[in-house]
Structure 1
């Protein structure tokens, strides 16, 4: 079954987007001059930064080792260059707005305004909300299986896909967690964790789609389906993190897995007599419409809300419906299995 995050091509956004260094904003000579001057003087107009007393490698310019940049600033990468780029961008956008020019991208990203240190606060908030929705869905699924539905004599659920959905829930919450972190601050580490988590969830969702739609119940069959896909996914993640962060290749891999998964579930929803298949259709159609938000990529309103943030917002209700479908599936199959036992 397909996660709302993956049922459209938008699901591959973490796979598609690479942070570029040749956008219109950072190619602007006035912006470049501002950054160069800031890194030399430590100031943008009247605003000065204490961390510009340190070199970008963290060593002190005019003091001993114990005067080096604090570790928490170094970890968050709020170094002199980051602050200079951000505040020069803000000042340059003010100048462009004064002459009725629209915003442009800087280093591959729209000009977002920080809020309490968060780089893209609205996307962070909706990523966290999606994480909470998955946790709520997983918890309600667990309560349904172990406290509301009949159990076998060994106290195990009748539903034969229970363990697979538990793994799916953990991967989903992990992916949304790193999505929130990545939108908080885009650095190499957070980017790789977000990309890797997204690929892992996408690949596992494809495996789960095949197993559930074809009702693969025996362990040998599951291993035969999962093993080659898990090997490929693992190799792909290792390739991105240890050899080359190839955005183009990553895009192709993610698109193939997403489209394959979408086709599998579309066919299954069309031929099955599942009583709650309409919920699956809502998720599929809703996710397809949400894709328009990514096609129509617009600058962030007031520096905070862009198309990607709105896409994160649409996945919140879709996630609720999705977990409702999973619970319905557990009830439906449990009822059928009990009837067969009797």
Structure 2
């Protein structure tokens, strides 16, 4: 760990002493002796700035000694751009946000409001948009608040996607089963946020396990749904392809390597790989909602006979 190295610690102590004033008792409250650009003044304290500069000094020293690129506080070193801590992840998160927003607009233009599933998928889009917004905020500047919001909103996206799968299996109808499942999912979300918020240290292992478990169940549920519906409804191939691509893209999260050009790491590339998924998924849910509408109208005609 680069932040535990003597090189980094000595550099940090020297920088704090030389470049930060002693107006406040804590390092976080100190102000830099040199006036920084406004975007650094807003998000980067004097201690943060010293840590950033010493990080690169440590990386340079490690490479000169052939020790490889170290991580700092569990993260790879990234070049900062306009105050953004991980610029590539910020840009790719925003691309996902825009893709979901565009597909929401397309969905609402193609599908009438009275169609079964309309409100379900509209809410799904906003949950995704919110999650990608907080992802971009977190990668812009990592702190306790932005980290928790990123993780909580990401879990809400995974859980709500699982919820949508179950609701689709129930034909998007309101009955005791759908109401019961809604309550269970709501309680699970409350438990997840409460548990992680009350712990003295964030439980990254539990958070990852919860996301992977629900994500895998969601993927398997949709694949089984597609397998059952395939012969009568060929449009479900888009659903199956979306799920397979989503699961395949997760393999990038397993990879761990220093950022290419100090900008593109595996996590950023994972965010990039998911930008195409909203386009496939939107086409599937449009076709599926129109199918449900057609089925609903046929059922009405049969009842009238």
Q: State the TM-score, normalized to the length of structure 2.
A: 0.88
* Cα distance in 1 for residues equivalent to 2:187 and 2:251: 33
Between Structure 1 and Structure 2, the one with more helix by share is: 2
Specify the alignment match of 1:272 in structure 2: 229
* Cα distance in 2 for residues equivalent to 1:52 and 1:83: 16
Is structure 2 residue 169 aligned with structure 1 residue 205?
no
* Cα distance in 1 for residues equivalent to 2:164 and 2:140: 30
Q: How is 1:183-332 mapped onto 2 (pairs within 5 angstroms)?
A: 183-244=139-200, 245-273=202-230, 274-332=233-291
Is structure 2 residue 31 aligned with structure 1 residue 56?
no
Tell which deviates more after alignment, 120-129 or 194-203.
194-203
Is structure 2 residue 6 aligned with structure 1 residue 29?
yes
Specify the alignment match of 2:108 in structure 1: 142
Alignment RMSD = 2.5
Q: How is 1:166-181 mapped onto 2 (pairs within 5 angstroms)?
A: 166-181=122-137
- How many residues matched? 295
* Cα distance in 2 for residues equivalent to 1:59 and 1:310: 36
- The structure-2 alpha-carbon separation of the partners of 1:305 and 1:330, relative to structure 1 and needing over 3 Å to count, comes to same
1:164 to 86, 107, 120: 120
* Cα distance in 2 for residues equivalent to 1:61 and 1:280: 53
Q: Higher relative contact order by CA 8 Å / sep ≥ 6: 1 or 2? A: 1
Q: State the TM-score, normalized to the length of structure 1.
A: 0.79
CA contact (8 A) 2:170 2:178 kept: no
Specify the alignment match of 2:15 in structure 1: 38
Specify the alignment match of 1:93 in structure 2: 59
- The structure-2 alpha-carbon separation of the partners of 1:29 and 1:255, relative to structure 1 and needing over 3 Å to count, comes to same
Q: Secondary structure at the match of 2:149?
A: helix
Is structure 2 residue 294 aligned with structure 1 residue 335?
yes
* Cα distance in 1 for residues equivalent to 2:266 and 2:213: 24
Shift of 1:337: 2.2
Q: How is 1:13-24 mapped onto 2 (pairs within 5 angstroms)?
A: 24=1
- The structure-2 alpha-carbon separation of the partners of 1:51 and 1:127, relative to structure 1 and needing over 3 Å to count, comes to farther
Shift of 1:253: 2.2
Q: Secondary structure at the match of 2:58?
A: helix
* Cα distance in 1 for residues equivalent to 2:45 and 2:32: 14
CA contact (8 A) 1:203 1:230 kept: no
Q: How is 1:98-117 mapped onto 2 (pairs within 5 angstroms)?
A: 98-117=64-83
Specify the alignment match of 1:122 in structure 2: 88
Q: Deviations over 1:217-243 (max 9, x none)?
A: 124332111102211211221221234
* Cα distance in 1 for residues equivalent to 2:294 and 2:116: 12
Shift of 1:182: 0.3
- The structure-2 alpha-carbon separation of the partners of 1:333 and 1:58, relative to structure 1 and needing over 3 Å to count, comes to same
Q: Deviations over 1:63-114 (max 9, x none)?
A: xxxxxx99986762x1121111111111222233334442111110001110
- The structure-2 alpha-carbon separation of the partners of 1:52 and 1:307, relative to structure 1 and needing over 3 Å to count, comes to farther
